[in-house]
């Protein structure tokens, strides 16, 4: 099972109690941090998300509202005694920034950071339960989206059936992967007779900061949950384009054209105190939209 | 009149709703920001302190809990359209860090930052109403304290008296500075007859992060308000020394020996959820102690 918890849903300047961008994608045992605006470590504490389960951090681009909280989180992880490796997937220059800040503090972290610079669209992580690919999105500076895909879930074994057919436990692994069973007499028992399919693997696409760009549609085709920024309401389409951001209507159009199962929108401009119109406008184009609200966990 | 508002009073890791170090010293028209831990811009907003009045920022040292919030604040000031010069007094390496982060974001701020690297104990700012000096304190890395001194307040003119003595308005400025008045007949009228002294100029010493160090006493002698860190309770004196921090008892001892009028203590370790014992222990040595509490404004 995958879920996404929103830690920050505001754009550039923190305002109206809303924080700059950060989200955490969770499987049963691991957490994947996506962007890390100022205050993310405080938000993780507030929503009781264990830092120890975060082994991969993904930074979409180097505008401050997406990474100024990272150095604080990395430092705190060290002060709290972390020794586990951490993988940081980000634009290359971030390594230089972090190393300079650690040097200035005369600090050596007690754990190792592996920097994985983003440079082309490809698979960037292949973990126990999920894979992560990065995609180019279209912003004022180099900017990346991330697609998280659950690996195929193993089939569930029917305990009564394997007992009845006297199948040794050594074969269970193969059965979970879908293999048929051939007994001593050479009789083949079909996998479907012995196992049941588990839930289909889920997917989450995070599109970071981007102007309306239809080349994104194919890249996020058919995802279960799409996060697309909607910095402005639709009457601000010109301003949005100038600033390489999107509107409600544009985010919803991408979701519709990509056949996403569900859409969440965020990165709201500080100029809006109330968010009701964001939902109203997006739902007109794509009904299965929700606002990305801080502290809310969206099950995929 | 001077006052100090505490924006963050916790040490290294934000915890128990407490934020990393930041304070703002205010005169009637200007605000001086002292240190800028992560979340300072959110704290400024929370306590309704106008960023526009901040023209000088002082950073004591480059441990993250004292400056990780600075780049966010500087960027937000730019996004909000600031054009006024900003003076940044800080260890030299901070300029490199900030410039690297601005370069990564491809951002040019719409205002100018003047970097004033801290290098020796001297007067570092001479503003309309106050002067600021930096002093060396004793921490694991280069670390500076700041002493803010109000300039001598002009004497108040007694309106009835100047009228009675027929003193032209052109002389008022000299009278306010303490000059006597000599009339056309050559009679000297003593300044004390014409004016009254205003409140004595006040002073505030901020000692940043420091181990117990008696060389600080002379530097902060007789200040009206002393901020001295007290990261730990007194039973942690050995650990405090190892980490170049102080205890309650040590902070209070410095205040006592320096003949400070009042002491505030802060930079509390995250290991303490409740702060009652900090006050109890400090008051035993120096009764005029208060805890530096977030959002509280201490009038000097």
pLDDT for B98 beyond 90: yes
Q: Which residues of B touch A69 (CB under 8 A)?
A: 38
pLDDT per residue as tens digits for the range A17-44? 999 999 999 998 899 999 999 999 999 9
Find the residue in B nearest to A37 (Cα). B72
Find the residue in A nearest to B269 (Cα). A79
Chain A nearest C-alpha distance from B79 (Å): 8
Question: pTM of the full predicted structure?
Answer: 0.90
Dist. CA B62–CA B57, nearest whole Å: 14
Least confident of A215-224, B25-34, B184-193: B184-193
B217 contacts: CB under 8 Å, gap ≥ 6: B254, B257, B258
Dist. CA A252–CA A254, nearest whole Å: 5
Please say whether the beta carbons of A39 and A18 come within 8 A: no
pLDDT for A256 beyond 90: yes
Find the residue in B nearest to A45 (Cα). B15
Nearest to A52 by CA among A76, A16, A21: A76
Q: How many CA atoms lie within 13 A of A193 on its CB side?
A: 12
B120 contacts: CB under 8 Å, gap ≥ 6: none
pLDDT for B12 beyond 90: no
Helix (H) or strand (E) holding A182: strand A181-182
Q: Pick A64's closest partner by Cβ from B63, B71, B141.
A: B71
DSSP state of A171: G
Chain A nearest C-alpha distance from B82 (Å): 14
Question: Can you read off the two tokens belonging to residue B283?
Answer: 């008051």
Question: Can you read off the two tokens belonging to residue A298?
Answer: 């969206």
Average pLDDT over residues B152-177: 90
Instruction: State the count of interchain CB pairs (< 8 A) between A and B.
Output: 94
pLDDT per residue as tens digits for the range B64-94? 999 999 999 999 999 999 999 999 999 999 9
**pLDDT (0 to 100) of residue A154:** 84
**pLDDT (0 to 100) of residue A186:** 87
**Is B65 an active-site residue?**
yes
Chain A contact probe: residue of B91, B105, B118 with most A CBs at under 10 A: B105
Q: Which residues of A touch B36 (CB under 8 A)?
A: none
pLDDT per residue as tens digits for the range A265-284? 999 999 999 999 999 999 99
Q: Pick A42's closest partner by Cβ from B14, B45, B141.
A: B14
Tell me the longest C-alpha to C-alpha distance in chain A: 74
pLDDT per residue as tens digits for the range A51-100? 999 999 999 999 999 999 999 999 999 999 999 999 999 999 999 999 99
Rg of chain A over all Cα atoms, to the nearest angstrom: 22
**pLDDT (0 to 100) of residue A189:** 92
Chain B nearest C-alpha distance from A215 (Å): 24
Find the residue in B nearest to A107 (Cα). B63
Chain A contact probe: residue of B7, B8, B13 with most A CBs at under 10 A: B13
Q: Which domains, ranges and CATH numbers included, belong to chain B? A: 3-153+199-299 (3.60.15.10), 156-196 (no CATH)
Q: Chain-wide mean pLDDT for chain A?
A: 95
Q: Catalytic site residues of A?
A: 65
A interface residues, B as partner, C-beta within 8 Å: 12-15, 19, 38-39, 41-42, 45, 62-64, 68-69, 71-72, 75-76, 79-80, 91, 93-94, 96-97, 100-101, 103-106, 140-141
pLDDT per residue as tens digits for the range A176-185? 988 999 988 8
In which region does residue A166 sit, left (phi positive, over 0), alpha (psi from -120 to 50) or beta (all else)?
left
Give bridge partners of residue A89 from the DSSP assignment: A58, A116
* Alpha-helical regions (H) of B28-81: 40-46, 70-79
Dist. CA B143–CA B62, nearest whole Å: 8
Q: Pick A105's closest partner by Cβ from B64, B101, B106.
A: B64
Q: Pick A38's closest partner by Cβ from B69, B80, B105.
A: B69
Question: Can you read off the two tokens belonging to residue B62?
Answer: 């480059």
Beta-carbon separation of B62 and A38 below 8 A: no
Please say whether the beta carbons of B188 and B180 come within 8 A: yes
**pLDDT (0 to 100) of residue A100:** 97
Q: Which residues of A touch B21 (CB under 8 A)?
A: none
**pLDDT (0 to 100) of residue B87:** 98
Chain A nearest C-alpha distance from B39 (Å): 6
Chain B nearest C-alpha distance from A144 (Å): 14
Find the residue in A nearest to B101 (Cα). A97
Give bridge partners of residue A10 from the DSSP assignment: A20, A268
């Amino acid at each position: 099972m995958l879920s996404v918890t929103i830690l920050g849903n505001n754009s550039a300047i923190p305002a109206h109690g809303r924080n700059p961008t950060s989200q955490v994608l969770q499987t049963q045992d691991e957490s994947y941090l996506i962007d890390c605006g100022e205050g993310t470590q405080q938000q993780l504490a507030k929503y009781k998300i264990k830092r120890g389960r975060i082994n991969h951090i993904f930074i979409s681009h180097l505008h401050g509202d997406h990474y100024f909280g990272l150095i604080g989180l990395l430092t705190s992880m060290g002060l709290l005694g972390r020794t586990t490796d951490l993988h940081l997937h980000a634009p290359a220059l971030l390594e230089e920034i972090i190393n300079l800040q650690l040097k200035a503090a005369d600090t050596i972290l007690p754990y190792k950071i592996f920097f994985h610079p983003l440079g082309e669209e490809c698979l960037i992580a292949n973990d126990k339960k999920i894979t992560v690919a990065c995609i180019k999105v279209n912003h004022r500076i180099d900017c990346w989206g991330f697609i998280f895909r659950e690996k195929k879930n193993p089939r569930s074994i029917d305990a009564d059936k394997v007992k009845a057919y006297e199948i040794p436990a050594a074969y269970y692994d193969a059965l979970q992967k879908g293999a048929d069973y051939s007994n001593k007499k050479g009789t083949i028992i079909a996998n479907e007779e012995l196992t049941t399919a588990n839930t289909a693997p889920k997917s989450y696409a995070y599109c970071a900061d981007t102007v309306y760009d239809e080349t994104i549609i194919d890249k996020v085709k058919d995802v279960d949950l799409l996060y697309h920024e909607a910095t402005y309401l639709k009457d601000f389409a010109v301003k949005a384009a100038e600033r390489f951001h999107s509107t409600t209507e544009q985010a919803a159009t991408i979701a519709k054209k990509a056949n996403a199962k569900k859409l969440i929108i965020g990165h709201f401009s500080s100029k809006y105190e109330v968010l009701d119109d964001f939902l109203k406008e997006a739902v007109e184009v794509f009904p299965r939209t929700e606002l990305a609200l801080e502290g809310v966990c969206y099950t995929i």
